[in-house]
Structure 1
Amino acid sequence: MSTFGTLFRVTTYGESHCASVGAIVDGCPPGLQLSAEDVQVQLSRRRPGQSNLTTPRNEKDAVHIQSGIEHGVTLGTPIGLLVKNEDQRPHDYSETDLYPRPSHADYTYLQKYGVKASSGGGRSSARETIGRVAAGAIAERYLKEVYGVEIVAFVSSVGKVHLPATVAPPSLIPNDGNEDNDEAEDALSPEFRQLLATITREEVDKHPTRCPHLETGERMTKRILRAKDASDSIGGTVTCVIRNVPSGLGEPVFDKFEAKLGHAMLSIPATKAFEIGSGFRGTEVPGSRHNDAFVKKEDGSLGTATNWSGGVQGGITNGEDIYFRIGFKSPATISQAQATAQYDGTPGELAARGRHDPCVVPRAVPIVEAMAALVVMDQLLIQGARRSAAAGLPPVTTLPPTMVMPPQ
């Protein structure tokens, strides 16, 4: 469906070439200082036409707040967010009247609904994510002000060009031929630990690829431009860290925190993979190396010496940094001629027109941040409701102290 969340509910609407796209946000706490500028910051990071690495579609993506706010303060009622589609060229997609684009959603949407949008992919277009980003900016505003939560995503690979500090995929980890060798480096190298602890959006945005390592960013640029010059496309990965998330979030057993996070990330267009913490690499490490031992932190709280878990244990946040990675496939719409078939099965050749991203990951960064914010916000409200309900009960005195969390 088009609604995400339980207590902080976001419903997006609109197709790629209709009059407007946007969202309705229901469940935002009242009394939050909020302006259109607070939302616009992330929309401007997502908008097309930012560099020669993205689609040249010229959209301002200016947000118009329709409801739920007066005098710069949220009322607690539904917030309406609207962004107009201004640079529309539906005639660029006339070929899709005959041909379903290979690996795109033209065919599956038609099979699903029996009718489809005539241009640009309709709801399957990345234009739909505007509503998510706008809603995520609202959630982020609350999370930052009340809990100090920080969410930063960055491009960690494009094609085979990888950010050096990130964990290599299993296929790239050297194999010494000894399958009984259980030695392994920590999933978080010292460089990666430092990156996750200190990376800022300002650093990420210094390079058009949104890779925080400038030398690697230049290599990524060359790879994207090579795909663009060949009328082709290329995929990549986005890594995200969420800092200062309170412990105790997540709803076992089916709505574990990482399950909701995976749901959110895999709902983003063009995603094909999600891993949290040590991910697939953790399958190659024995428990004696993989377990995160508990230690007493400087502030007296309990924490972990390592973070193979990625900040989530048993589906519940443990207070450590949450980090995860998402894989985005190469965009399906390319201008290179492809042998394919028409809807009636007649063989033919399709060279798509229109304006398309040769690589989606630079613009996907704020979308990933937005969906992460929506997950954290919703889980905080759910946990807050549980604690508020429990607060009205008398203290528990019939259980051993080790079984009851002390009052906070």
Structure 2
Amino acid sequence: MAGNTFGKIFQLSTYGESHGTAIGGIIDGCPAGLNLDLEKIQKELDRRRPGQSDITTQRSESDTVTFLSGIFEGKTTGTPIAFQIPNKDQISKDYSAIKDVYRPSHADFAYDAKYGHRDYRGGGRSSARETAVRVAAGAVAKQFLALSEIKIKAFVSCIAEAELSEGIENLDLSAPENEIRCPDPIVASQMRKLIEEARDSGDSLGGIITCIIENVPAGLGEPVFDKLHANLGKAMLSINAVKGFEIGSGFAAAKMRGSEHNDSFVKSGSKTITKTNYSGGVQGGISNGMNIVFRIAFKPVASIGKSQDTVNNKGEETNIKIEGRHDPCVVPRAVPIVEAMAALVIADHSLINRSTKV
């Protein structure tokens, strides 16, 4: 296993590099008979694509997806769903100056150490360009989950020092997305200003995305090694630039007493719910029917326009000033990626769960 396949039943394998001819994927295990809305899939890709505004990379890709198999008369056939997204606007010469130099906090050195050979054009396979494939597959998973009325919504809750102070229950997540993908327009404006300042100074910013999954039934997740929150954590940490994952109360739980952290059970009609949701919708690695809530921390983008110290592939000390087109902050464009990976996890566990009861 070379690490290019995700999932156990609802599986995604991806291929391609940043500056290759195309990127693409194969979805295996998607049930037959699912009516697929291809326009919805393309809209998800449009949310992630580069060149959306003046605060994203100016690489201009339409990210138009073409499905090659597994769909007939608008429905999935149960066979592998293959799809491809062309690369149209790669400018490989932008990277010729760094082919022998390791960019700080990039995968350049690590890839050389592992393989002894690397595609330096845009980072090759290590590029976030690969995540477009995940978004397409996640859009298919979302449509499968919609049959069970499961909804996934992510949003930007922090960029640098600009952070939402409102609790989730007070946010209007039904409003149209702005370019920052922060549901509070005032905070979104503050975030945009910070991104502009970082861009203009040749620097970059990190931030946090919050994700909420609604209507997940109790019982999803497997004991010990395939706990639901463990697989969500793996999915999120597989996204480029992610440095942290926390579910429910997360690291704040370390400062709480059990008497305040425990989620008391109560009866609501025919359902058993909890008064609070410090567990984030998962207990013992299995969903409890409450909303699944988690947060993901993204580091500042590694490609910056400032001069930095580094070494080349001969071990000689040098410095580097990275040219080319890069996001000053990747967080807004990462929102659909987070949703996609969450959808792949929940879809996979939904299918696994079908095999656990008589």
- Normalised by the shorter chain, which TM-score bucket? over 0.9
User: What amino acid maps onto 1:377 in structure 2?
Assistant: A
- Map 1:280-299 → 2, pairs under 5 A: 280-298=251-269
- Residue 249 in structure 1 maps to residue 223 in structure 2: no
1:261 is aligned to 232
Shift of 1:35: 3.6
- Residue 69 in structure 1 maps to residue 39 in structure 2: no
Does structure 2 conserve the Cα–Cα contact (< 8 Å) formed by 1:56 and 1:356? yes
Shift of 1:126: 0.7
User: What amino acid maps onto 2:116 in structure 1?
Assistant: G
- Residue 275 in structure 1 maps to residue 238 in structure 2: no
1:53-111 Cα distance to aligned partner (Å, 9 max, x none): 10000000000011000110100000011000000101100122121100000110111
- Residue 307 in structure 1 maps to residue 277 in structure 2: yes
Local SS of the residue matching 1:349: strand
- Residue 28 in structure 1 maps to residue 30 in structure 2: yes
Does structure 2 conserve the Cα–Cα contact (< 8 Å) formed by 1:16 and 1:122? yes
User: What amino acid maps onto 1:148 in structure 2?
Assistant: E
- Residue 199 in structure 1 maps to residue 173 in structure 2: yes
Shift of 1:235: 0.4
1:153 is aligned to 154
Aligned length: 356
2:55 is aligned to 53
Distance in 1, matches of 2:241 and 2:65, equals: 24
1:5 is aligned to 7
Local SS of the residue matching 1:272: strand
Local SS of the residue matching 1:241: strand
Does structure 2 conserve the Cα–Cα contact (< 8 Å) formed by 1:36 and 1:65? no
Distance in 2, matches of 1:160 and 1:2, equals: 35
1:174-211 Cα distance to aligned partner (Å, 9 max, x none): xxxxxxxxxxxxxxxxx32243xx623x43x1x21111
Distance in 2, matches of 1:10 and 1:88, equals: 25
Pairing partner for 2:106 from 104, 107, 110: 104
User: What amino acid maps onto 1:323 in structure 2?
Assistant: V
Does structure 1 conserve the Cα–Cα contact (< 8 Å) formed by 2:266 and 2:275? yes
- Residue 119 in structure 1 maps to residue 121 in structure 2: yes
Distance in 1, matches of 2:170 and 2:76, equals: 36
CA RMSD of the aligned region, Å?
A: 1.0
Distance in 2, matches of 1:282 and 1:193, equals: 20
Distance in 1, matches of 2:241 and 2:131, equals: 12
1:338 is aligned to 308
Distance in 1, matches of 2:312 and 2:89, equals: 28
Pairing partner for 1:327 from 297, 322, 325: 297
1:297-341 Cα distance to aligned partner (Å, 9 max, x none): 13x111101101000001000000000000000011112111222
Distance in 2, matches of 1:36 and 1:248, equals: 31
Shift of 1:345: 2.1
Distance in 2, matches of 1:125 and 1:163, equals: 29
Pairing partner for 1:90 from 89, 92, 114: 92
Shift of 1:384: 0.7
1:37 is aligned to 39
1:359-403 Cα distance to aligned partner (Å, 9 max, x none): 01000000000000000000000001222xx2xxxxxxxxxxxxx
Distance in 2, matches of 1:318 and 1:81, equals: 35
1:137 is aligned to 139
Distance in 1, matches of 2:303 and 2:114, equals: 20
- TM-score of the pair, normalised by structure 2: 0.98
Local SS of the residue matching 1:120: helix
Shift of 1:37: 1.3
Does structure 1 conserve the Cα–Cα contact (< 8 Å) formed by 2:108 and 2:120? no
Distance in 2, matches of 1:15 and 1:376, equals: 27
Distance in 1, matches of 2:194 and 2:313, equals: 33
Local SS of the residue matching 1:254: helix
- Map 1:358-373 → 2, pairs under 5 A: 358-373=328-343
Pick which of 87-96 and 259-268 moved more: 87-96
Shift of 1:118: 3.0
Local SS of the residue matching 1:385: coil
Local SS of the residue matching 2:336: helix
Distance in 2, matches of 1:123 and 1:18, equals: 9
Distance in 2, matches of 1:92 and 1:261, equals: 35
Larger Rg: 1
User: What amino acid maps onto 2:27 in structure 1?
Assistant: V
Local SS of the residue matching 1:141: helix
Distance in 1, matches of 2:26 and 2:286, equals: 28
**Any runs of at least 4 consecutive aligned residues in structure 1 with deviations exceeding 2 A, and if so which?**
191-195
Does structure 2 conserve the Cα–Cα contact (< 8 Å) formed by 1:36 and 1:64? no
Runs of 5+ in structure 2 lacking a partner? none
